[in-house]
Amino acid sequence: MKADREETWLFDLGNSRAKAARLERGEPADVIALDWECEDFTATLRDSLATWPHPRRVWVASVASELRAQRVREVLAVFEPAKVEWLRTPRRAGGVVNRYAKPERLGIDRFLAMLVAHARAPGASVVIGCGTALTLDIVAADGTHAEGMIALSPDGMLRTLHDATAIKDSNPAAFADADAVDDTAAALQAGCWASAGALVEWFVARSKARHGTVHTWLHGGWAGRLSEWLARDGCVVDILDDAVLRGLALLCDRP
């Protein structure tokens, strides 16, 4: 089958899962999301992509381990190497300026999310990623990446407490799901989510003091739940669905 003249595939390889989409009218379409722990990941991804038109180009943004990324490389090996580009974080793109001394060391997922936020709202933006880690970034009104922080996500905090304490030995139910009625489980959930929420609120407040009015965006697998915690204290946020894929889509059309 010949490649479609305009067909572009986009890949977002995160720490917890891989996502893929077709570029259609400047937006990601037909999004596929697979956990890395999915049984027979490679075959499942290959079968899902088989229904798409063959691409003229494939863009991959990856923060996954090389072992996990290799599974996707195997699937994409059927295409000419020149068609497949594994992107590195640039110094600047789409009006966003990366101030890292070595620009490629800024996670490309963070850069792409900032690119989307900067394109969607005038003025400064706070961009919060809540996935395996909690990332906090400020994009100034002129597009400069003004500040960034990385911390444990609420789920990461829970896993750390699970591994570093003896709580599970005396109370196995303590690390049950979020709806558990066990008192210790409730305390752990409240502590971890409140800690993340407090960090976000502090970061947003300081950003407002330094940059004036800021728009706050959340993205990542835990973004919905974190937004619910923040809403309890009146912290208004918007969620960026498929932020990395949308950032890739923007890069396709912008210098």
Tokens 């697979």 sit on residue: 34
Q: Please give the Cα distance from 246 to 59 (Å, whole number).
A: 12
Q: Please give the Cα distance from 132 to 243 (Å, whole number).
A: 15
Q: Which runs of consecutive H residues, i.e. helices, occur in the chain?
A: 41-49, 66-76, 108-120, 154-164, 167-170, 183-211, 223-232, 243-253
Q: Of 227, 244, 248, 223, whose CA–CA distance to 236 is shortest?
A: 227
* Per annotation, catalytic residue among 109, 137, 155, 242: 109
- Do the strands 27-35 and 17-24 form a parallel or antiparallel pair, or are they unpaired? antiparallel
- Do the strands 84-86 and 57-62 form a parallel or antiparallel pair, or are they unpaired? parallel
Q: Please give the Cα distance from 97 to 144 (Å, whole number).
A: 5
Q: Of 87, 50, 46, 35, whose CA–CA distance to 252 is shortest?
A: 87
109 is catalytic: yes
Would you please indicate which residues are annotated as catalytic (active-site) residues?
Answer: 109
